C-alpha cells in the first residue's frame, strides 16, 4: 500500500500539472456543469475517467489494511491501539466453545480465514473474529449461581471505537446507576478495529456485569463488490458540498449499513432474543425500576424507542420509493406504515432515533426483515446516498410490524447529542418523579421538538394495503414529472454519470 501511495502521489502531481492534456476537470469534480462547453469536455473524457476509476480502485481498502488503527487515534496515545490477549491478565478469558489458539501473525490469520471456505457464514465469521474476542466474567454472575436466573436472553450492545473510551465510560455509568447495577445484563462491545488492552481493562472494571469485546467480521464492514467506489466518491462530494452531516464520510456509511443489516448477524448475538443499543456520550435521566426486556417479551413488543424525529431529506432521496417498491412487490399490508406517510403519501421523514433502541433480535433475524434489507442494499444507496439505520429500522417496523408491537418507553429520560426528552409532570407524574433533569436542559423534545411525537400520540391504525402502495407510488412518479427543475437536475446528473461509465 505504501508503494501505491507514492505512485498515486506522482500521478496526481502529473495530472494536476497537465489537466488540459487529458481533458480532466481536475479532482474537484462538480456535477452541475453550468458551462455547456465544459460539459462537452466531460463527455469526451472516457479514457482518463476510466483511468481515475482504476486509480480509486487502488485506494480501496485491502485485506492487509484491515487491522491498521483508526486514523483519529494514532497520534495521541500509543497505548490506545495496543492489543495483546496474553498481556490482559488472568481476569480475561476466551469464550466457551470458541477457538482458543491462533498463530502469531493475526493479520495473516485473518486474510487466510477470509479466503477459506466454511460450512456456514456464522462459522466463518466466528473463526475470523475469534482471536479478538475477549471475555470478562462480571462478579454479578455469582448472584445467579445458586438460584434461577431471572434475566431475559438479552444484552446491552455497543458499537464503539478505542478513541471513545471516556464517552463510553460516561454512558456505562449512566446505564449502571439508573438500571443495570440491579439487573446485571451483560455488555457486548463491537469495533471494526481491535479493541486495545487499555480499553478492555478500563471498561471491564466499570461494571460488575460480564463484558465481551469483539471485532466485527470483514463482510459486515466493507464495500460490497456491486458498489462502484468511484461513483460513491462522486456522490459523497455532492453531499458534503451541500453541508450534509457526514455527507463525505465512508466510515459513517459503513456504520449505518452495519446497524441496518449486520449487527444482528454478529456471532456473539446469535443466542440472544433482545438487545438494548447503547452509544457513547448519552445521559439517562430517570431511574428505571423494571426490566424493559421482560416488559418487551411479556407484552409482545418487538421494537421500542424514546425519540421520534425527522430525518434530513437529502440523505435518503430514494428510500421511500425503494420501500414502496418493496411493499408493492411483496404485496404488504400493514396497520403501521401510515405513521410514516404525510397527507400526500410522501414520507413524512419521521423516524425512531435508533441510537437508543430496545428490540427483538428474532425480528431482525427474520426472513422478512432480511429480505427488506437485501432489497435496499441491492440499490447501493447506503453508499451513493447516505441512508441511516434509523429510518430503515423505522420503515421496516412500518412495513412488517403491527402498531401494537411498537412501544414508546415514556419512563426512560434520554439525551444524545443535543436532543433530550423525559416524562413530563402533568401526566404520569410517577414516572416524572423518578427523573433528575439538569437545569441546563430546558428543551424537551417530546413537547418542543418536531411534529413526529404528536403524530405518534395521535396515530390511529390504518389498514394500509397494496392499493395504498400503488397510489403512493403513482403520486411519487407524478411529482417527479411535475418538477421540471428537478428533472433538469436529474438530466444533467444522468449525463454526467453516462460520461463516467462510457467505455
Ligand X SMILES: *[C@@H]1O[C@H](CO)[C@@H](O)[C@H](O)[C@H]1NC(C)=O
Q: How many other β-carbons are positioned within 10 Å of the β-carbon of residue 174?
A: 19
| Distance (Å, whole) CA 395 – CA 389 | 10
Q: Which of 122, 206, 249, 333 binds ligand X (CB under 6 A)?
A: 333
Task: Please state the closest distance from residue 408 (CB atom) to ligand X, in A.
Answer: 10
Gap between the Cα atoms of 287 and 431, Å rounded: 9
Cα dihedral 354, 357, 362, 364, rounded to 10, equals 0
- The 8-class DSSP code of residue 58 comes to H
Query: At closest approach, how far in Å is the CB of 115 from ligand X?
Result: 4
Strands 187-191 and 154-159 turn out to be parallel
Position 117 contacts ligand X (CB under 6 A): no
The one catalytic residue among 176, 235, 311, 357:
357
Residue from the set 111, 312, 455, 473 that interacts with ligand X by CB under 6 A: 111
Binding mask 39-68 for ligand X (x = CB under 6 A): ------------------------x-----
Selected binder of ligand X within 428, 433, 454, 471 (CB under 6 A): 428
Closest CB to ligand X among residues 300, 428: 428
Residue number with CB closer to ligand X (112 or 297):
112
Q: Rounded to the nearest whole angstrom, what is the least distance from the CB of residue 474 to ligand X in the complex? A: 16
Number of residues that bind ligand X (CB under 6 A): 8
How far apart CA 282 and CA 354 sit, in angstroms, is 13
Q: Does the active-site annotation cover 152? A: no
C-alpha–C-alpha distance, residues 213 and 132, integer Å: 8
Instruction: Compare residues 115 and 243 and give the one whose CB is closer to ligand X.
Output: 115
Rounded to whole angstroms, what are the CA distances from 402 to 181, 233, 372? 33, 39, 16
One of 29, 59, 466, 492 touching ligand X (CB under 6 A): 466
**Nearest approach, Cβ of residue 491 and ligand X (Å):** 34
Q: Which is nearer to ligand X, 218 or 284 (CB)?
A: 218
Instruction: Give the separation between CA 133 and CA 338, rounded to whole angstroms.
Output: 42
Shortest distance in whole angstroms from residue 333 CB to ligand X:
5
Member of 427, 429, 487, 488 binding ligand X (CB under 6 A): 427
Closest CA to 220 of 164, 247, 249, 260: 260
Please, which residue, 115 or 485, has the CB nearer to ligand X? 115
Residues 292-331 touching ligand X, rule: CB under 6 A, are 331
**Residue of 411, 421, 160, 194 lying closest to 279 (CA atoms):** 160
Contact 156, 292 (CB under 8 A): no
With cell 479478538, the residue in question is 132
Give dist(CA 159, CA 354) in Å, integer.
Answer: 13
Q: Which is nearer to ligand X, 62 or 300 (CB)?
A: 62
Q: Is the dihedral of CA 188, 192, 194, 199 positive or negative?
A: negative
Q: Considering only residues 101, 115, 482, 503, which one is a binding residue for ligand X as defined by CB under 6 A?
A: 115
For ligand X, the binding residues (CB under 6 A) are: 63, 111, 115, 331, 333, 427-428, 466
Residues designated catalytic:
357
Amino acid at each position: 500500500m505504501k508503494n501505491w501511495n507514492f505512485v498515486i502521489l506522482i500521478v496526481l502531481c502529473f495530472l494536476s500539472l497537465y489537466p488540459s492534456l487529458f481533458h480532466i476537470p481536475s479532482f474537484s469534480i462538480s456535477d452541475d456543469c453550468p458551462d455547456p462547453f465544459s460539459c462537452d469536455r466531460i463527455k469526451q473524457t472516457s479514457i482518463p475517467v476510466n483511468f481515475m476509476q482504476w486509480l480509486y480502485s487502488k485506494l480501496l481498502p485491502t485485506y492487509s489494511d484491515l487491522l491498521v488503527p483508526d486514523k483519529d487515534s494514532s497520534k495521541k496515545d500509543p497505548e490506545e491501539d495496543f492489543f495483546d490477549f496474553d498481556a490482559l491478565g488472568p481476569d480475561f478469558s476466551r469464550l466457551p466453545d470458541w477457538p482458543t489458539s491462533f498463530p502469531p501473525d493475526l493479520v495473516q490469520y485473518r486474510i487466510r480465514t477470509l479466503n477459506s471456505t466454511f460450512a456456514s457464514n456464522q462459522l466463518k465469521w466466528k473463526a475470523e473474529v475469534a482471536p479478538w474476542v475477549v471475555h470478562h466474567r462480571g462478579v454479578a454472575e455469582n448472584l445467579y449461581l445458586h438460584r434461577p436466573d431471572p434475566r431475559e436472553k438479552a444484552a446491552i450492545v455497543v458499537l464503539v471505537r478505542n478513541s471513545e473510551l471516556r464517552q463510553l465510560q460516561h454512558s456505562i455509568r449512566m446505564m449502571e446507576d439508573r438500571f443495570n447495577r440491579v439487573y446485571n445484563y451483560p455488555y457486548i462491545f463491537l469495533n471494526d478495529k481491535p479493541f486495545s488492552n487499555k480499553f478492555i481493562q478500563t471498561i471491564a472494571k466499570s461494571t460488575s456485569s460480564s463484558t465481551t469485546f469483539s471485532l466485527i467480521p470483514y463482510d459486515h464492514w466493507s464495500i460490497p463488490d456491486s458498489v462502484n467506489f468511484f461513483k460513491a466518491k462522486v456522490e459523497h462530494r455532492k453531499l458534503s458540498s451541500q453541508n450534509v452531516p457526514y455527507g463525505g464520510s465512508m466510515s459513517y456509511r459503513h456504520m449505518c449499513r452495519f446497524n441496518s443489516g449486520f449487527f444482528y448477524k454478529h456471532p456473539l448475538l446469535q443466542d440472544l432474543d433482545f438487545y438494548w443499543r447503547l452509544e457513547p456520550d448519552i445521559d439517562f435521566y430517570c431511574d428505571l425500576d423494571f426490566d424493559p426486556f421482560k416488559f418487551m417479551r411479556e407484552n409482545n413488543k418487538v421494537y421500542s424507542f424514546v425519540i421520534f424525529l425527522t430525518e434530513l431529506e437529502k440523505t435518503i432521496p430514494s428510500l421511500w420509493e425503494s420501500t414502496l417498491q418493496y411493499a408493492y412487490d411483496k404485496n404488504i399490508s400493514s396497520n403501521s406504515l401510515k405513521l410514516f406517510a404525510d397527507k400526500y403519501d410522501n414520507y413524512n421523514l419521521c423516524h425512531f432515533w435508533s441510537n437508543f433502541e430496545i428490540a427483538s433480535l428474532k425480528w431482525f433475524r427474520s426472513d422478512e426483515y432480511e429480505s427488506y434489507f437485501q432489497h435496499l442494499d441491492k440499490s447501493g444507496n447506503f453508499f451513493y446516498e447516505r441512508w441511516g439505520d434509523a429510518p430503515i429500522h423505522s420503515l421496516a417496523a412500518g412495513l412488517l410490524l403491527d402498531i401494537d408491537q411498537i412501544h414508546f418507553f415514556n419512563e426512560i429520560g434520554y439525551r444524545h447529542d443535543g436532543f433530550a426528552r423525559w416524562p413530563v409532570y402533568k401526566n404520569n407524574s410517577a414516572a416524572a418523579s423518578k427523573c433528575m433533569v439538569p437545569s441546563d436542559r430546558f428543551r424537551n423534545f417530546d413537547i418542543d421538538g418536531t411534529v413526529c411525537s404528536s403524530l405518534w400520540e395521535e396515530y390511529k391504525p390504518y389498514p394500509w394495503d397494496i392499493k395504498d402502495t400503488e397510489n403512493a407510488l403513482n403520486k411519487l412518479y407524478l411529482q417527479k414529472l411535475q418538477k421540471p427543475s428537478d428533472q433538469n437536475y436529474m438530466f444533467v446528473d444522468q449525463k454526467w454519470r453516462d460520461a463516467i461509465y462510457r467505455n
